[in-house]
Amino acid sequence: MTHAVLGLLERVGDRLAGADPRLVLLALAFHVANHVLRSLAWRGTLAAAYPDTEVRFGRVLAAYAAGVAVNAVAPARGGDAVKVGLVRASVADSSVATVAATLSLLVALDIVVGTLLVLVLGLTGAVPLDPGRALGRVSALAPVIAAAIVAAGVAGRLLRHRLRALRDRVRQGGAVLRRPARYMVVVALPQLAAWCCRVSVVLCLLAAFGLPATVPVAALVMVVGGASSVVPLTPGGAGAQQVLLALALSQTASAAAVVSFSLAMQASVTVVNALLGLAAAMLVCRTARPLAALRGIRAST
């Protein structure tokens, strides 16, 4: 067993050393573009929610980068709170509920795109998809869902005055949806372009490690990566992602090739996220000292 593990690690090391650095750098460029495009989409939702307030793209980009950096190195999604807190501090007269609602619009479109991606992969056979089993699991949860709805109704009656104010702030965060044409231009299009950048990141890294660089394989890698971070017990789903990818791509490449690719992808993306987050923190806190910037971000959130 020990010899097998050592042999796998040796093969992983050889493949890491043999990766094409040009493709790796191109992948990282696409990753940065993904950050910029998603921040642009978020800025669109914020500008619609606060039409009389200046919403600076640079501040939104910095908040997004800082939050992604925290999510990459922390075992829970505390980075989302960092994003909301930093934007809340930079937009005058804003509220946490409204800012969080604007961010949730991006998450909603991500869920739609991700679901469509899973369905397409399932119908093509790349991902096992059993509608009967899925329906059975939903049916088993029906009593829990019903109880949650009843509890929410009771809580709503008891707290209706406070919830009314919260509802108004959340509704304000979705203001861009009341103008579908604007939503498509300033939110949906940049976000869909960001998805294309994410696929391009995976394609470049697959090619860099000599794996089949096709859109279906890249989509499968993205689905597996998302599944490994559903319950983020480790930073970025580390460990779980390598295991799931090795199983999902077992018919496509060797375990050493898949593990080396996965480790390189996760490590490079994490490093870039951390550097972007640190630069963002220094920009927001207006300091050239990294430690002072980190302390300022912690105090702001």
pLDDT at 24: 84
pTM recorded for the entire structure = 0.76
Are 19 and 262 in contact, with CB atoms under 8 Å apart? no
Confidence grade of residue 35 (pLDDT, cut at 50, 70, 90): very high
How far is the CA of 277 from the CAs of 126, 243, 274, 282, 297, in angstroms?
Answer: 35, 28, 5, 9, 10
Whether the per-residue pLDDT at 130 is higher than 90: the answer is no
pLDDT tens digits for range 75-118: 556 788 888 888 998 888 888 889 999 999 998 998 888 888 87
